[in-house]
Amino acid sequence: MRLQPPAGGLPDHNRFRYRAITGRPTYEWPAGQRLAVYVGLNLEHFAFDEGLGAELAPATPQPDVLNYSWREYGNRVGAWRLMDLFGELGWPLTVLANTSLYEHCPEVMDAVRARRDEVVSHGYTNSVRQGDMDEDSERRLIANVTRTITQFEGQPPKGWLGPWISESRRTPDLLEEAGYAYLLDWCMDDQPIWFKTRNGGRILSVPYPQELNDIPAIIARKDAASQFADMIVDNFEEMLVQARRAPLVMGIALHPYVVGQPYRLRHLRRALQHINEKRDKIWIATAGAIAAHAAPFAL
C-alpha cells in the first residue's frame, strides 16, 4: 500500500523527478568504459578572525589561530604534495578554487595552470555561505568569480561548487543564466542528471561525493587515514561491479589541509595506486569532461 501524501504534497525543489537507476538508458564513456573517476581537489582560503571553516579541534574565541593555521597548511604545503602525487600518477584534477587564492597564494594557481587542470568555481572564500545571500548579492558573487577565473585562466569556468555546498533556492537558475554548464553541489546520484531551471533552461548536475570526501569522513566521522583509503578502494571495486549494469561516476573529494598531512597522504597514495593499476578498465577524467560526454545521454 502506498502512503498517500497530504493535499498538495510535500514541499519540493522541482528541479528533477525521481528515476530509479535501474531503468535508465545505457551508454558508455569515451573508450567503452563503464566507470568514470574524477578527483575534486578543493583549494580554499579563509578569512582570519572571522567567518566559517572546518575545525581540527574545537573552536576557540577569535582569532582561532589553531584552526586557521591548520587550514592554511593546505595552501602552503599540502596542495604541493598532492599535485606532486597526481603528477606521478598522471591524473588530471578538477580543481575547485576559491578565487581569493589568486590574491593570497597565486603560485598555487600558477601550478594548477601549468598542469592544465580544470578550474571549477568555488566561490570567493569558504568563510561564507552562498545560500545566505539575497538574489542580487548571489548574482554578483557568481559574476565576480566567473570574471576572475576567466581573466586568469583564459576561458570561463564551466562548473560550480558552492562554498560549503551552500545553495539558495535560485542558485541553479543563476548559474545557468550566467553560462554554467554544470554544478556539483548535489550528491543524490551516481550519474549526471539534468536540473530544470527557470525560464525553460536546464543545467547538468554531476555527482559530487560526500562519502568519499575527506572532511565528512576524517573530520566529521573521525575515520582514520587508513579507513579513508580503504573506503576509496572498496568503493572503487564495488562500483566496477555495479558499472556492468550502468555507466557510473565515482568522485573523490580532497582537501589539502586534511589529506596533505604526511601520514594521511601515505594512505591516500596507496588507494590511488590501487585504482591506477586498473586504469585500462576506467576513464580517469575531469568533472567537466564527464559533464560534456554525459550531456546528450543524461535524463
- Give the span between the Cα atoms of 191 and 36, in whole angstroms: 10
pLDDT value of residue 1: 46
pLDDT-derived band at 117 (thresholds 50, 70, 90) equals: very high
- Class (C level, CATH) for 26-294: alpha beta
Is pLDDT at 4 greater than 80 in this prediction? no
Which residue type occupies 29? W
pLDDT score, position 2:
56
Cβ proximity of 175 and 142 under 8 Å: yes
CA-CA-CA-CA dihedral for 201, 166, 71, 43, to nearest 10: 0
CA distance 177 to 47: 29
Q: Name residue 41's beta-bridge partners.
A: 95, 254
| pLDDT(93) > 50 | yes
- Residue 28 CB coordination number (10 Å): 14
Q: Give 3's pLDDT tier (boundaries 50, 70, 90).
A: low
Partners of 194 in the β-ladder: 204
| pLDDT exceeds 70 at position 6 | no
Instruction: Name the average pLDDT for the chain.
Output: 95
- Cα 211 from chain centre: 12
CB 209 within 8 A of CB 252: yes
CA distances to 93, 122, 160, 183, 280 from 34, rounded to whole Å, are 20, 28, 25, 22, 11
pTM for this predicted structure: 0.95
pLDDT tens digits for range 197-239: 999 999 999 999 999 999 999 999 999 999 999 999 999 999 9
Query: Which pLDDT value is given to residue 5?
Result: 59
Neighbours of 241 (CB within 10 A): 9
